[in-house]
Amino acid sequence: MPEQASLASRSATLMLPLENSKFEIRGLGVEYDGESALRDVTINLPKQQITALIGPSGCGKSTFLRCLNRMNDLIPSARMLGDIFMDGNSILSSNVDPVELRKRVGMVFQRPNPFPMTIFDNIAYGPRRHGVRSHSMLEQIVEETLKKSALWDEVKDKMRQPALDLSGGQQQRLCIARALAVQPDVLLMDEPSSALDPISTFKIEELMLELKEYYTIIIVTHNMYQASRVADYTGFFLLGELVEFGPTVEIFERPIDSRTDDYVRGRFG
């Protein structure tokens, strides 16, 4: 559990000790066509914990998330500044293969986006691409992954059916399973439940809490109650800046920066 600190003794952006960190982010900035979208972000993200990123639309949350697996490389106008270290090694240096990186840092998006193929093939897709050929091996991976994603009982009898026949909530958990099938260390989730009903949302949150035992999870959410329910640490972004980062309870019970206070109390706009 994150420790409690008093208002006076906590700095607005907490620096976690390196030994508990998965990512060290140093002076990170992103520009699109020379326009700054993210500025000078310096934090450590905790290992095998859930970190939530909150903030108003356009403040740079998705941009930040996309830096962590170099998805911004796919946007021609994007330019990154600063550096990011994962387990102590820079992930921005030119000798890092972004495809390999994305295998270790999986991503789940707002809209469930299963491939138009069977449930089985959706999960087997990643491992196949990374060279797993044996069918029994694939079967084993698919079963294990679906069990880990708490979806196995619901789909074990319809592995050959199209994934798109599943409900929205099931599709999203399938997407999480698909991301887990290539055995990543990190799971990035960009508003993973904003298109889902409360029960499916609850299942996703439950799943996150189970998964954090094995994975580092970073989630962008517009739902502050979701952040407060699942996240160990929360970061608040505003206009491309990281305004505050700390234990979730601190951010929601006694934020230091008045901009954080305004935002969590709904005093913006």
Q: Which residues bind Mg ion (CB under 5 A)?
A: 62
Which of 4, 11, 20, 77 is in the footprint of ligand ATP by CB under 6 A?
A: 77
Return the residue of 34, 76, 153, 225 that touches other proteins, per CB under 8 A: 225
Tell me how far apart the 2 most distant CA atoms of the chain are, in Å. Answer: 59
Q: Which does 149 bind (CB under 5 to 8 A by kind): ligand ATP, Mg ion, other proteins, none?
A: none
User: Pick from 59, 101, 181, 264: which binds ligand ATP (CB under 6 A)?
Assistant: 59
Sign (positive or negative) of CA dihedral 33, 39, 42, 44: negative
Interacting partner of 266 out of Mg ion, other proteins, ligand ATP, none (Cβ under 5 to 8 A depending on kind): other proteins
Q: Could you give the dihedral angle defined by the CA atoms of residues 54, 219, 168 and 264, in that order, rounded to the nearest 10 degrees?
A: -20
* Residue 12-51 contact track with ligand ATP, rule CB under 6 A, x = bound: --------------------x----x--------------
Told to check if 267 binds other proteins by CB under 8 A, we report: yes
259 binds, among ligand ATP, Mg ion, other proteins, none (CB under 5 to 8 A by kind): none
Residue nearest to Mg ion (CB): 62
Report residue 160: phi and psi, to 5°: -95, 5
Q: Quick one: which of 18, 58, 100, 268 contacts ligand ATP (CB under 6 A)?
A: 58
Q: CA separation (Å) from 208 to 233, 254, 267?
A: 14, 25, 29
Give the nearer residue to other proteins in terms of CB position, either 40 or 232: 232
211 binds other proteins (CB under 8 A): no
Of 1, 7, 74, 199, the residue at the interface with other proteins (CB under 8 A) is 7
E strands present in 159-204? 186-190
At 71, list the tokens: 């998805």
From the CB of 39, what's the least distance to ligand ATP, in Å?
11
The nearest distance, CB 189 to ligand ATP, in angstroms, is: 12
Could you say whether residue 8 binds other proteins (CB under 8 A)?
yes
Residues 6+ apart with CB under 8 A from 115: 121, 122, 125, 163
Task: Closer to Mg ion by CB, 190 or 205: give it.
Answer: 190
Distance (Å, whole) CA 192 – CA 186: 15
DSSP state of 49: S
Q: What is the rounded CA–CA span in Å between residue 19 and residue 87?
A: 9
The structure tokens 């069977």 sit at: 118
> At residue 59, what is the residue type?
C
Residue 224 contacts which entry, Mg ion, ligand ATP, other proteins, none (Cβ below 5-8 A, type-dependent) = other proteins
Q: Which stretch binds other proteins (CB under 8 A): 3-11, 42-50, 91-99, 191-199?
A: 3-11
**DSSP string covering 65-77:** HHHHTTGGGGSTT
The residue with tokens 């087997």 is 124
When asked if residue 57 is in the footprint of ligand ATP (CB under 6 A), the reply is: yes
DSSP letter for 83, please.
E
233 lines the binding site for other proteins (CB under 8 A)? no
